[in-house]
């Protein structure tokens, strides 16, 4: 058992309120695509004639819906059958045991909730929620995935859209306010699978008023010098060590 796991375990046990920021590294560990971040930009542009950022935008959705949905089904919805992996299940276990209090993510695949987490803030929405912008009727992800053309509302015939934030759209103020409130309540902030310069952290860490900032990520980054603890590790492996340490302390 590593000393760093013991140190983090001690901080978490003493914490009154721990908030977790879950980033793209956890998604990659789970085998999900990160095309929304341009991680496979060359292949996407070669395949579709546009970058992922161009396609996954409000402007593109408004003017080229068929091309948008071809990309959306092939590159994002193709992964929805992959179940939440070890890291997300460990995160859910720690939340259920009262160690974690809130999970905040920009990821679109609803993985923390599907793993069993209850208090999750999805800043950019979820591909599992889809709706008609005209009449408000909601549709499951299977409805989008099983259509070949533009999915249309069965009530009013208007296009159904994903319940996610596209490039060029603003995050709902109520969602940001809720996330900011949770950050202000935290005395421990645990950043998983991303660095402190990521958009997720840049958007939220300014609200954090505590003094125990922990980053666990598989890649080192200069910004992590700003953390009280940086642990270079796969998130799922690190959480497994923390859980083992906590179980040992209970004996």
Alpha carbon separation from 205 to 168, 184, 190, 223, 247 (Å, rounded): 22, 9, 11, 12, 30
Give the dihedral sign, CA 24/125/40/37.
negative
Give catalytic residue positions.
124
Query: Going from the N-terminus, what domains does the chain have, and what CATH number goes with each?
Result: 3-31+83-124+170-250 (3.40.50.1220), 41-80+131-164 (3.30.1600.10)
CA torsion, ordered 164, 206, 115, 81, to nearest 10 deg: 40
Instruction: Enter the DSSP assignment of 76.
Output: I
Tokens of 172: 């709902």
Instruction: Give the helix/strand (H/E) hosting 139.
Output: strand 138-139
Nearest-5° Cα angle at 18, 169 to 247 = 130
Query: Which residue's structure tokens are 């859209």?
Result: 161
pLDDT of residue 153: 97
pLDDT of residue 98: 97
Instruction: Give the helix/strand (H/E) hosting 128.
Output: strand 125-132
Instruction: Tell me whether strands 120-122 and 102-105 are parallel, antiparallel or unpaired.
Output: parallel
d(CA 195, CA 216): 8
Nearest-5° Cα angle at 118, 197 to 30 = 55
pLDDT of residue 36: 55
247: buried, middle or exposed (CB in 10 Å: 19+, 13-18, 0-12)? exposed
pLDDT of residue 248: 85
Instruction: Tell me whether strands 125-132 and 160-164 are parallel, antiparallel or unpaired.
Output: antiparallel
Question: In which region does residue 50 sit, left (phi positive, over 0), alpha (psi from -120 to 50) or beta (all else)?
Answer: beta
pLDDT of residue 145: 95
pLDDT of the chain, 251 residues: tens digit per residue:
579 999 999 999 999 999 999 999 999 999 998 865 545 567 888 899 999 999 999 999 999 999 999 999 999 999 999 999 999 999 999 999 999 999 999 999 999 999 999 999 999 999 999 999 999 999 999 999 999 999 999 999 999 999 999 999 999 999 999 999 999 999 999 999 999 999 999 999 999 999 999 999 999 999 999 999 999 999 999 999 999 999 987 76
Alpha carbon separation from 239 to 9, 12, 48, 158, 191 (Å, rounded): 10, 12, 38, 45, 12
Longest dimension (CA), the chain: 61
pLDDT of residue 37: 54
């Amino acid at each position: 058992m590593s000393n760093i796991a013991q140190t983090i375990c001690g901080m978490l046990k003493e914490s009154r309120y721990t908030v977790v920021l879950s980033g793209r590294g956890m998604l990659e560990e789970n085998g999900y695509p990160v095309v929304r971040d341009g991680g496979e930009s060359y292949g996407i542009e070669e395949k579709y004639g546009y970058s992922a950022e161009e396609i996954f935008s409000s402007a593109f959705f408004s003017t080229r819906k068929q091309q948008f949905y071809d990309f959306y089904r092939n590159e994002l919805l193709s992964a929805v059958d992959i179940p939440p992996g070890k890291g997300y299940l460990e995160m859910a276990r720690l939340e259920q045991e009262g160690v974690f209090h809130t999970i905040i993510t920009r990821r679109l695949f609803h993985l923390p909730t599907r793993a069993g987490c209850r208090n999750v803030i999805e800043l950019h929405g979820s591909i599992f929620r889809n709706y008609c912008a005209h009449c408000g009727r909601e549709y499951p992800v299977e409805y989008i995935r099983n259509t070949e053309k533009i999915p249309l509302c069965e009530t009013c015939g208007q296009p159904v859209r994903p319940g996610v934030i596209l490039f060029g759209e603003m995050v709902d103020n109520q969602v940001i306010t809720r996330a900011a409130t949770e950050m202000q309540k935290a005395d421990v902030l645990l950043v998983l699978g991303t660095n402190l310069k990521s958009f997720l952290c840049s958007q939220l860490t300014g609200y954090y008023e505590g003094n125990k900032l922990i980053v666990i990520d598989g890649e080192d980054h200069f910004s992590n010098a700003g953390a009280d603890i940086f642990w270079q590790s796969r998130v799922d492996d690190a959480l497994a060590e923390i859980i083992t340490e906590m179980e040992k302390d209970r004996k």
